[in-house]
């Protein structure tokens, strides 16, 4: 197979450290390991949260604007002429669009004009976010949904993390050539062996206390409030239960007020993050806007029973009653009921923890991203045959 040139377009590649950016950075790193040249087009900021280690980033700050209600995120309004010239000089074999914003739509139109195959990937359940921020984004839901219905069928592939997400898109009448591109995990890094009793003591956790952790960027749409209220409710009944929140974000200060006895580690990465997971006892993640649930997979690999929302991303990872529980999305009472079961039954926690680790071993980044590379070649071959027939 000849070396490829891939142009990647995304609404976030390095300025916010979230699951989308980390996934795309891992992909670019893998592509370059396969001798595939990559050029990334994306908005950024003066102090990006991620320093990319691969690929050439073409920053488009002058054409971006803040998302209503979430000013740290950026939306590119169009694909400027100078960047179109940059793309033409790069002469890509394939264009991969991760965000259907103005930049991505501009890239799609450029590709159609220059007869370059386009694939897309679906990382964020956009319509759920619109519902969560109805005050700011409610009026744009219908036109945004229509745009998605127009955008994705024009791509040769749309890579989606789970079958349940594909099914949800179909219910919204969003179609196209959908193919699963799952997410992976480094099972050596996220490992039950990283549990550290001395570290637990150093942050004020007694040996007989049970730690219920939440790991995420601290924003309210991750259902942080449901986590807080679930733990607070059961602490009245079980005083040995401790809350540990791992991450940072705009909701940090208010969350600390609501959980004055909670442990807030702030942002963690690498070994510090792996230690925080493994030093927990239960993972509680009520978010229902995930397309996959990277943090849930990290918790599973770390050997934790997982209590998550019965929603698109999470239900593909957690099998109810085997490696954790699924609770009705947004239902505080259901989360409290199932968290109580885990708190009371140490034997069940241990069984679920072992099963989580076994299930996580099925997700390896190298094989997942290599399968995507192989599909890139298929897309290019199929596109060449189709275009040849059309001419």
The DSSP line for 268-332 is --HHHHHHHHHT-SEEEE----BSS-HHHHHHHHTT--EEEESSTTGGGTPPBTTTEEEE-TT-H
Find the range with the poorest average confidence among 58-72, 94-108, 204-218.
Answer: 58-72
59-99 confidence digits (pLDDT tens)? 885 555 556 555 666 677 889 999 999 999 999 999 999 99
Query: What average pLDDT does the structure give for the chain?
Result: 90
User: Among 64, 238, 222, which Cα is nearest to 128's?
Assistant: 222
What values do phi and psi take at 27, rounded to 5? -60, -50
CA atoms 324, 329, 334, 340: torsion sign: positive
Residue 195: what pLDDT?
Answer: 98
- 34, 373 contact by CB (below 8 A): yes
132 has a pLDDT exceeding 70:
no
4-54 confidence digits (pLDDT tens)? 999 999 988 887 788 888 899 999 999 999 999 999 999 887 787 888 767
Beta bridge partner(s), residue 159: 121, 179
Beta bridge partner(s), residue 94: 6
Question: Would you give the DSSP letter of residue 249?
Answer: S
Residue 48: what pLDDT?
Answer: 78
User: Among 14, 19, 125, which Cα is nearest to 74's?
Assistant: 14
Looking up tokens 């790069």 gives: 90
Looking up tokens 């069928």 gives: 153
Give the distance from CA 258 to its chain's centroid: 26
* Alpha-carbon gap, residue 389 to 391, rounded angstroms: 5
- Confirm whether 5-184+364-390 and 192-360 share one CATH topology: yes
136-194 confidence digits (pLDDT tens)? 666 777 888 899 999 999 999 999 988 888 998 999 999 999 999 988 899 999 999 99
Residue 134: what pLDDT?
Answer: 64
Residue 387: what pLDDT?
Answer: 81
Residue 76: what pLDDT?
Answer: 78
User: 49: how many CB neighbours lie within 10 A of its CB?
Assistant: 17
Query: How far, in Å, are 110, 116, 174, 353 from residue 155 at the CA level?
Result: 13, 11, 12, 40
The number of C-alpha atoms within 13 Å of 202 and in the hemisphere containing its C-beta is 8
User: Using only C-alpha atoms, what is the Rg of the chain?
Assistant: 22
Instruction: Tell me what the mean pLDDT of segment 343-361 comes to.
Output: 97
Residue 2: what pLDDT?
Answer: 67
Each domain of the chain, given as residue ranges in start order, spans: 5-184+364-390, 192-360
- Angle of helix 141-151 relative to helix 102-114, nearest 10 degrees, comes to 20
* Alpha-carbon gap, residue 175 to 78, rounded angstroms: 24
Query: How far, in Å, are 90, 213, 388 from residue 383 at the CA level?
Result: 19, 47, 8
Instruction: Tell me what the mean pLDDT of segment 344-350 comes to.
Output: 98
Residue 77: what pLDDT?
Answer: 82
Instruction: Tell me what the mean pLDDT of segment 214-238 comes to.
Output: 95
Instruction: Tell me what the mean pLDDT of segment 345-371 comes to.
Output: 94
Query: How far, in Å, are 27, 157, 300, 371, 381 from residue 376 at the CA level?
Result: 12, 9, 30, 9, 9
Find the range with the poorest average confidence among 128-132, 150-154, 272-276.
Answer: 128-132
* Alpha-carbon gap, residue 309 to 315, rounded angstroms: 8
Domain 5-184+364-390 has CATH 3.40.50.970: no
- 97, 9 contact by CB (below 8 A): yes
Tell me the two tokens of residue 336: 């409290």
The percent of residues above 90 in pLDDT, for the chain, comes to 70
Question: Would you give the DSSP letter of residue 122?
Answer: -
- 287, 312 contact by CB (below 8 A): no
CATH class of 192-360: alpha beta
- Cα three-residue angle 9-19-37, rounded to 5 degrees: 40
């Amino acid at each position: 197979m000849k070396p490829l040139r891939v142009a990647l377009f995304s609404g976030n590649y390095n300025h916010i450290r979230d699951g989308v950016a980390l996934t795309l950075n891992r992909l670019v790193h893998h592509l370059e390991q396969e001798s595939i040249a990559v050029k990334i087009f994306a908005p950024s900021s003066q102090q990006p949260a991620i320093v990319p280690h691969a690929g050439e980033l073409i920053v488009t700050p002058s054409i971006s604007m803040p998302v209503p209600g979430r000013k740290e995120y950026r939306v590119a309004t169009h694909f400027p002429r100078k960047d179109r010239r940059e793309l033409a000089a790069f002469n890509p074999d394939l264009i991969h669009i991760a965000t259907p914003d103005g930049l991505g739509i501009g890239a799609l139109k450029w590709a159609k004009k220059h007869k370059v195959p386009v694939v897309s990937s679906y990382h964020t359940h956009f319509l759920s976010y619109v519902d969560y921020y109805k005050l700011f984004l409610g009026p744009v839901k219908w036109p945004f949904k229509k745009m998605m219905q127009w955008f994705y069928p024009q791509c040769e592939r749309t890579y989606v993390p789970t079958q349940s997400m594909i099914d949800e898109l179909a219910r919204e009448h969003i179609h196209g050539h959908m193919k699963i591109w799952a997410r992976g995990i480094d099972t050596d890094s996220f490992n039950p062996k990283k549990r550290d009793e001395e570290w637990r003591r150093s942050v004020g956790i007694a040996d007989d206390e049970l730690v219920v952790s939440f790991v995420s960027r601290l924003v309210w749409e991750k259902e942080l409030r449901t986590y807080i209220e679930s733990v607070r409710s059961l602490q009245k009944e079980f005083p040995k239960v401790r809350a540990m929140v791992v991450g940072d974000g705009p909701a940090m200060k208010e969350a600390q007020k609501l959980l004055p006895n909670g442990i807030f580690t702030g942002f963690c990465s690498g070994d510090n993050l792996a230690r925080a997971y493994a030093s927990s006892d239960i993972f509680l993640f009520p978010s229902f806007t995930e397309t996959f649930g990277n943090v849930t997979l990290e918790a599973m690999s770390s050997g934790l029973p997982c209590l998550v929302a019965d929603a698109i991303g999470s239900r593909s990872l957690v099998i109810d009653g085997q490696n954790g529980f699924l609770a009705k999305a947004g239902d505080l009472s259901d989360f409290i009921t199932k968290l109580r079961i885990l708190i009371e039954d140490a034997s069940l926690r241990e069984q679920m923890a072992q099963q989580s680790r076994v299930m996580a071993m099925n997700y390896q980044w190298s094989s997942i991203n290599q399968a995507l590379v192989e599909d890139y070649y298929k897309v290019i071959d199929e596109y060449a045959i189709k275009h040849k027939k059309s001419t």
